[in-house]
A and B are shown apart, each in its own frame.
Chain A
Amino acid sequence: MSTSPASTTALQTSTGPQKILVLGATSGIAEATCRIWAKQGARLFLVARNGDKLAAVAADLKTRGASYVDTAVADLDDTTQHPTLLAHAINSLTGMDVAYLAHGVLGEQPQAEQDFGHAAQILHTNFIAPVSLLTWLANYCVQRHAGVLAVISSVAGDRGRKSNYLYGSSKAGLSAFLGGLRNRVDREGVTVLTIKPGPVKTAMTAGMKGSEKFADVDKVAQTIVAAIDKRRDSLYVPFQWQPIMFIIRNIPESIFKKLNL
């Protein structure tokens, strides 16, 4: 982890409100993050699959003070649409300071163990599609020598475990990709932020076993916004996951393979 020597004040490549592209805007974490940006008066372009949900989120962010909100309904699994979609979004925003990738699927591990089709689907949504988006977005940012690419990966990508290794390996691939991309574009003035959330209490996890112990989504969102403003490289939220994952990564395989995780 390193922070830029620059000031810790809000990132602004141009004067005026931040221009933010959000992919997967109806996810719980994305929505909470966008509410903070809306309050700051940001310009937002939101992408999600479900039009009704997207409309409700857009109305909320507009009401809360976003200076501009535009949306597109799209299935991000369709990588052939990415160039047009991204060009349209940036055009609509009249530029882009931050791209926030928050879409993904958990998938069904038991099903993925039996059915490669399902496994491939998880890998496609969580790994291939973000690689396609980030390739385009990184090249856009490199050309302008500016921009932040903030991407939600997962603590589950730090080590494969039997309860969710398809999801975990898709996120491991994503984390590795982000590391390499950062290594390439940092010298071009572009920031790549890898976000690794632990379990978060969102509307979506309400009623899950143990969910009362999950992290508060608004606090997670605040941490993400602060990390973007400070142009950090990586982030565990809540931060306690950093030492926990350090230990988990370092359990010898001979022991790890016998654990029920």
Chain B
Amino acid sequence: MSELSSDPGSTPTASASFESWGRYPTYSAKIIPINWQNDFPGVIAGVHDGALPVGMGRSYGDVCLLKDGNLLLTTGMNRLLNFDSETGVLTAEAGATLAQILDFSVPRGFFLPVSPGTKYVTLGGAIANDIHGKNHHVAGAFGSHVTEFELVRSDGTRKICSPTENLDYYAATIGGLGLTGVITWAKLRMKPIVSRMIDYEGIQFHGIDEFLDLTKQSEKIEYTVSWIDCASTGKNFARGVFMQGDHSKVPAELKQSPEPKLVFPFDAPGFALNHTTVSMFNTAFFHKQVKPRVTALQDYEPFFYPLDKVLHWNRLYGRNGLLQFQYAIPWESAREGTIAILKEVAKSGLASFLAVLKAFGDVPSPGMMSFPQPGITLALDFPIKADKSFPLFERLADMTRDFGGKLYPAKDAAMTAAQFQAFYPQWEQFARYRDPLLTSSFWERVTGDRPTL
């Protein structure tokens, strides 16, 4: 007899409607909700075709997919278990989203230690991809702020993981792509704020050298990120807008969301994304900022999450979906590599609507498989065109490897097994911590390994 929460007498059936953010690839899978800390592994007793915990599906590719397997949907496990307003440590279940956490914490004067470009990701997903934010150069990645979590394995064992307890599983699970077990709850060290506003500054730059100069000058500013026009060539090559900000130090209202001071021009561009329209958009974005430098007091929402106002903007890319390509290249070759890759992209004629450039700092992550490393990271969005995109991705991945860099699994659906294994030589050591029941389409693709159970 099933317990009732709603109504009206239909029995649960497997649904196949879990999409990753890029909507590519699409695989059918059975969705099994994990609503309570004790649900796993019980609810999948007798399941032999592999399982994978998933959150909001905000990864672009296939790290959150499992073809013909079982997706353990964690978003119902979203309780806030404790908040210590002295230390700022929040204990929350892993399915809680960053949006839910901010709704709770901002009115209390606390902010996320690290935030990605969307708040619609879960705590568990943020740990499993060891996500980074605009403050990587000062704060490192998300995992550095996770002081403890519980990991449940398919054999029923429960491990408390922290820098002092089960350190090996702590390291393997941060950036562990959901493969080491189900994270049920985690402790996150939040950061005190006195205002919900950001002291924002936007600065136009022309070329990578100006970008690097600005990066150097802004070392002490907490948040920095750049939008870059990758459709232009010639004298406009690699022009962009350097965006930086700090939490305002002027005590102010934390509760009310004021009118955003600076409106980003992302609201539903009602046009098809092709090279011409993307060039137009990029030119418009560049010149939207009429002066070389602008300052504004801006609410944190548009500063951190300009795209969240347009829910499901991924659909703009049409049925075939989109894919990001994101690399990190170490300082030694960062300038040269970035220029070479931008040139290759411009040459391909495949336009990237959103190109984001940022410097990673040297705060190490505890995560064994963590993506960020000191140097430059560039993220590019491409609509998927089977004949053109994948050959380009392969060339770009090879270039990344030759420049000593690596790609971000959270944004990938294209790298080959050989490329992955070159980017993450520690993968075999990591594989020892994998839960035997858990796997993903990503993992199978980059290791050639589908466990037979």
Contact = CB atoms under 8 A, between A and B. Distances in A.
Interface of A: 27-29, 52-53, 56-57, 59-60, 63-64, 103-109, 118, 121-122, 154-156, 163-164, 167-168, 197-212, 214, 217
B15 A63 contact: no
Contacts of B33: 203-204, 206-207
A98 B345 CA distance: 63
Given A121-B1, A209-B15, 16 more contacts: A52-B36, A59-B82, A60-B79, A64-B80, A105-B3, A106-B4, A108-B2, A156-B7, A168-B9, A197-B6, A202-B76, A204-B6, A206-B76, A207-B14, A208-B12, A210-B10
B79 A28 contact: no
Nearest to B31: A207
A163 B9 contact: yes
Nearest to B2: A106
B79 A107 contact: no
Contacts, number: 127
Contacts of A197: 6-7
Interface string B1-32: 11111111111111101000000000000111
A53 B9 contact: no
Contact of B7 (A56, A59, A199, A212): A199
A257 to B, nearest CB: 18
A204 B76 contact: yes
A56 B9 CA distance: 27
Given A156-B7, A168-B9, A57 B79 contact: yes
B248 interface: no
B286 interface: no
Contact of B36 (A53, A104, A121, A211): A53
A56 B1 contact: no
Contacts of B77: 203
B15 A59 contact: no
B93 to A, nearest CB: 7
Given A60-B79, A121-B1, A209 B10 contact: yes
Interface residues of B, number: 35
B73 A56 contact: no
Instruction: Give 3 closest A-B pairs by Cβ, nearest first.
Output: A203-B76, A164-B9, A200-B6
B186 to A, nearest CB: 14
A31 B70 CA distance: 26
Contact of A164 (B8, B15, B35, B37): B8
Nearest to A217: B6
21 contacts: A27-B5, A29-B5, A52-B36, A53-B38, A63-B80, A63-B104, A105-B1, A105-B2, A121-B1, A122-B1, A167-B8, A168-B8, A199-B6, A199-B7, A201-B6, A203-B77, A204-B33, A205-B6, A206-B76, A207-B73, A208-B10
Contact of A28 (B5, B13, B81, B93): B5
A118 B1 contact: yes
Interface of B: 1-15, 17, 30-33, 35-38, 73, 75-77, 79-83, 93, 104
B6 A28 contact: yes
Contacts of A29: 5-6
A207 B32 contact: yes
A203 B6 CA distance: 10
B9 A207 contact: no
A104 B79 contact: no
B325 to A, nearest CB: 30
B256 to A, nearest CB: 15
Contacts of B5: 27-29, 200, 202-205
A200 B1 contact: no
A56 B93 contact: yes
B75 A206 contact: yes
A28 B10 CA distance: 16
A104 B4 CA distance: 6
Nearest to B93: A56
A116 B10 CA distance: 20
A192 to B, nearest CB: 20
A204 B3 contact: yes
Give the interface centre of B7, B14, B75 by most chain A CB atoms within 10 Å. B7
A154 B7 contact: yes
A1 B105 CA distance: 39
A64 B80 CA distance: 7
A58 to B, nearest CB: 9
B73 A206 contact: yes
B12 A205 contact: yes
Contacts of A156: 7-9
A217 B76 CA distance: 11
B372 to A, nearest CB: 30
B7 A155 contact: yes
Contacts of A205: 5-6, 12
Nearest to A107: B1
A198 B8 contact: yes
Contact of B4 (A57, A105, A163): A105
